[in-house]
């Protein structure tokens, strides 16, 4: 069954106290909002993860995700965090391939492919982000960019592993800019992604996989975006830092 997912990416925001408060509010508010085929994932900075796992304990509808992991299992990599460490505190997801990591930390498709495999080997589910820049869209290259990101980042995975990945289409020009892809623009790309997955793996697998939209998603535009056939939820940045907005976005599913 294809899951509907709303994931919050806090990025480098919220100190420990603020993070605990925000997460408590979200957990208290989403108890009855999340149905069986739906999932809420919160991705705070590393430092919050262990405490938030403890805090959510009784709420099985909310999962936690990290925002990054190293591509090797362990070793002399000062300042880095291993997938096994993230898993060991009870975290289920990890965001990989985010455009901010690609742009500011020079993460290449090849490195990301390694990170995906390391995450999966350690039983973490990747939320794998793909998306074009404004220049690439204006040049009409968005489909080829996305195809290449899929091929290089993910298509060496087995069927069994690919099934564990959540995809997120995040047009770079829409992230944190207030510019959202229109529901039609987003649907067009999501359908393209599903066709590519179908051709590489199978129509059944393509039908199962969740593809989230990300980029200035908010309580006002979420309903129209999530109503599209191939949009299975959202990866939410700015609006995930306000509990009310985040929960409003989650509630969108039940209005559709
Ligand atoms: P935004 O960020 O919602 O603030 O645009 C989304 C993301 O970067 O995941």
Hey, whose CA ends up nearest to atom 9 of ligand 1? 237
- Which atom of ligand 1 approaches the CA of 100 most closely? 8
Half-sphere exposure for 139 (CA within 13 Å, toward CB): 9
Quote the CA–CA distance of 6 and 246 in Å, as a whole number. Answer: 9
Q: Ligand 1 centroid to 127 CA: how many Å?
A: 13
The series of mean pLDDT values per 10 residues for the chain, 256 residues long, is 95 98 93 82 98 86 96 97 98 98 97 98 98 95 98 98 98 90 96 98 98 96 96 98 96 76
- Which atom of ligand 1 approaches the CA of 240 most closely? 3
User: Would you please indicate which residues are annotated as catalytic (active-site) residues?
Assistant: 98, 170
Quote the CA–CA distance of 91 and 81 in Å, as a whole number. Answer: 13
Give the DSSP per-residue string, 53-70. Answer: HHHHTT-TTEEEEES---
| Per-residue pLDDT, 255 | 67
| Per-residue pLDDT, 54 | 94
| Per-residue pLDDT, 31 | 74
Phi and psi torsions of 69, nearest 5°: -150, 165
**Long-range contacts (CB closer than 8 Å, 24 or more residues apart) made by 201-207:** 201/159, 201/162, 202/159, 205/159, 205/162, 205/163, 207/2
CB 185 within 8 A of CB 224: no
Quote the CA–CA distance of 129 and 73 in Å, as a whole number. Answer: 22
| Per-residue pLDDT, 34 | 80
Hey, whose CA ends up nearest to atom 2 of ligand 1? 237
Quote the CA–CA distance of 206 and 70 in Å, as a whole number. Answer: 28
Hey, whose CA ends up nearest to atom 7 of ligand 1? 237
Q: Ligand 1 centroid to 216 CA: how many Å?
A: 6
Phi and psi torsions of 243, nearest 5°: -55, -40
Half-sphere exposure for 17 (CA within 13 Å, toward CB): 0
Q: Ligand 1 centroid to 175 CA: how many Å?
A: 5
Coil, strand or helix at 244: helix
Q: Residues 34, 131, 199, CA angle at the centre, nearest 5°?
A: 85
Quote the CA–CA distance of 95 and 175 in Å, as a whole number. Answer: 15
Q: Which two tokens stand for residue 184?
A: 């039609």
Model confidence over 48-100: pLDDT tens digits?
999 999 998 777 789 999 999 999 999 999 999 999 999 999 999 999 999 99
**In 10 A of CB 60, how many CB atoms?**
9
- Which atom of ligand 1 approaches the CA of 235 most closely? 9
Q: Ligand 1 centroid to 202 CA: how many Å?
A: 30
| pTM score | 0.97
Q: What share of the chain has pLDDT > 70, as a percent?
A: 99
Quote the CA–CA distance of 208 and 140 in Å, as a whole number. Answer: 29
Probe target for ligand 1 pocket from 215, 233, 239, 241, with the most ligand atoms within 8 Å of CB: 215
CA 173 to centroid of chain Cα atoms? 17
**In 10 A of CB 29, how many CB atoms?**
16
Probe target for ligand 1 pocket from 65, 166, 235, with the most ligand atoms within 8 Å of CB: 235
| Per-residue pLDDT, 256 | 54
CB 130 within 8 A of CB 170: yes
- Which atom of ligand 1 approaches the CA of 214 most closely? 6
Q: Ligand 1 centroid to 235 CA: how many Å?
A: 7
CB 237 within 8 A of CB 11: yes
What residues line ligand 1, using a CB cutoff of 6 Å? 9, 170, 175-176, 214-217, 235-239
């Amino acid at each position: 069954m294809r899951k509907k997912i709303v994931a919050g990416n806090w990025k480098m925001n919220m100190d420990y106290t603020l993070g605990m408060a925000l997460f408590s509010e979200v957990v208290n508010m989403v108890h009855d909002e999340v149905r069986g085929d739906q999932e809420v994932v919160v991705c705070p900075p590393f430092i919050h993860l262990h405490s938030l796992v403890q805090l959510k304990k009784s709420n099985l509808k909310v999962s936690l995700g990290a925002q990054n992991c190293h591509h090797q299992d362990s070793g002399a990599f000062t300042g880095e965090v291993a997938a096994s460490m993230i898993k060991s505190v009870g975290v289920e997801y990890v965001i990989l391939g985010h455009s901010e990591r690609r742009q500011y930390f020079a993460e290449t498709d090849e490195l990301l492919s390694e990170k995906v495999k390391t995450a999966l080997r350690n039983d973490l589910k990747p939320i794998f982000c793909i998306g074009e820049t404004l220049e690439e869209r204006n040049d009409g290259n968005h489909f080829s960019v996305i195809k290449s990101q899929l091929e290089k980042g993910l298509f060496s995975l087995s069927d069994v592993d690919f099934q564990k990945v959540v995809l997120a289409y995040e047009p770079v020009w829409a992230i944190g800019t207030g510019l959202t892809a229109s529901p039609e623009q987003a649907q067009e790309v999501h359908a393209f992604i599903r066709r590519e997955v179908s051709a590489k793996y199978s129509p059944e697998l393509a039908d199962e996989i969740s593809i989230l939209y990300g980029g200035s998603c908010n309580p006002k535009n979420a309903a129209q975006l999530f109503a599209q056939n191939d949009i299975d939820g959202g990866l939410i940045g700015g609006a995930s830092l306000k509990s009310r907005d985040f929960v409003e976005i989650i509630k969108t599913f039940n209005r559709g």
